[in-house]
Amino acid sequence: MSHIAFCQIKYSSIGVAGINYAQLDPFAYTRRIINSGDLRYSWEVPRTGYPGRVNISSLTSVAETTLKPAFQHNADSLNKNDDTCQRQDDHRAVGPWDPKLSPASLRRGLKLMMTQRSLDERMEAMQRQGRLSFYVKSSGEEAVAIAQGMALEDRDILFPSYRQPGLQLVRGRSVVDMMCQYITNSRDNNKGRQIPGHYNWNEGNFVSVSSPVGTQFPQAVGCAMASASRGEDTVTATWIGDGATAEGDFHNAIVFAAAYRPPVILNVVNNQWAISTPQSFARGSATFAARGLGYDIPSLRVDGNDFPALFSVTAWAAERARRGGGPSLIEVFTYRAGPHSTSDDPSGYRPRDEAAHWPLGDPIERLKTHLIQRGEWSQSRHTQLQAQLKAEMSARYKEAESYGTLKDGPLAPKSTLFDDVYKALPPHLRKQRQAFGY
């Protein structure tokens, strides 16, 4: 792939953020992190030092911060001439990637992120009490599902990983139904066939999460190819973690995406850790976003804790895909603030206080501060909403257990064993079902 050929892709010059990608250095947004301006840093991930740590070569330009030197320094990793390495102390959103979202949209995004966090806290507490077998939180990554989900249309098809349950909240799914899937009771729409957290929701175009790592990438590309062949105005979006880029499915998907150019958004959520393995193991020396360039796919790297920037980049990619521009790859640069799951103890492989030193902050706190700066929110309203959501999650969990508990059931009826496999039940399964007395 030549630099010139890439810059001549005319269809990539569209976008809600007003960015003309065809006029940009194709490597620019795979090395820097797109940020809407309310808290702006730029750095590269390490090549030496403690694996998985983010490199801040010098905090002199952001000396007003209270960061401690918990993240490995590398003097060659930061472009000191990059004008994005500045902090906006008044928490404004500025620059070409500001999507100019209304206060109502931003407040909705904040509430949905807070809802996801409150749900996580309730479900983790229930798991610790033995009322759930397992749980996966989205701590520190709430903006990934909420901002990106809000940037898409309801008709768009989603192939998520287990850390984007918030996509369902964006589309209005009942929290009770989500809880019932984890409990595996009579209201579980999976009928007990999936492990906890492997949601699916046909009505919301939310395709089932599955255990094999990275398989959703080629599935999403195939789905987008089918949509394009039918002439549908539909975009497919999919998410994998940084560790999954080491799987063959990642490259298989990108090969087909590059060849057939379907309307698909390929998101790599770089949260720094693949369970206990730092992202540097899978990444190598380049950024994850840079991998798309080898396949002639426009690729971006965005601050995953910056709600407006994440919305803007996703809306840009969706509009581009919808107009026939083809695939985009987005590296969502964020941080997994909690354990991989309730079965994981991160203190065994990273410092206990590492999350507190993540330099891009917390997505909820950042959006809250931005709204307060605009006069559209307040700390008292925020505290009130936190209390309201905590009480609501407690009530919703009691309602969910009214459909059955983990230990005592009731579970899905045995008669449903043969459902949801074939559109029309074949003769041999009808015989088996009859043998069971159904």
Spot the catalytic one: 53, 122, 340, 396. Answer: 340
d(Cα 372, Cα 240) in Å, to the nearest integer? 33
Encoded tokens for 164:
């984007």
Encoded tokens for 185:
């009771």
Spot the catalytic one: 349, 374, 381, 382. Answer: 349
DSSP state of 92: -
d(Cα 220, Cα 400) in Å, to the nearest integer? 31
With beta carbons less than 8 A apart as the criterion, state whether 179 and 396 touch: yes
Measured in degrees and rounded to the nearest 5, phi and psi for residue 428 equal -65, -30
Q: Annotated catalytic, 397?
A: no
What separation, in Å, do the N-terminal and C-terminal C-alpha atoms of the chain show? 60
Encoded tokens for 333:
């640069």
Q: Which is nearest to 239 in space by CA: 257, 204, 264?
A: 264
Query: CB-based burial of residue 221 (10 Å sphere; 0-12 exposed, 13-18 middle, 19+ buried)?
Result: buried
Angle, in degrees to the nearest 10, between helices 307-322 and 142-151: 40
Q: Annotated catalytic, 336?
A: yes
CA 103 to chain centre: 23
Measured in degrees and rounded to the nearest 5, phi and psi for residue 335 equal -145, 130
Helix spans in 130-197 (H): 142-151, 166-170, 175-183
Spot the catalytic one: 53, 283, 301, 336. Answer: 336
Centre a 10 Å sphere on the Cβ of residue 340 and count the other Cβ atoms it contains: 19
Q: Annotated catalytic, 182?
A: no
CB within 8 Å of 398: residues ≥ 6 apart: none
* Active site residue ranges: 336, 340, 349
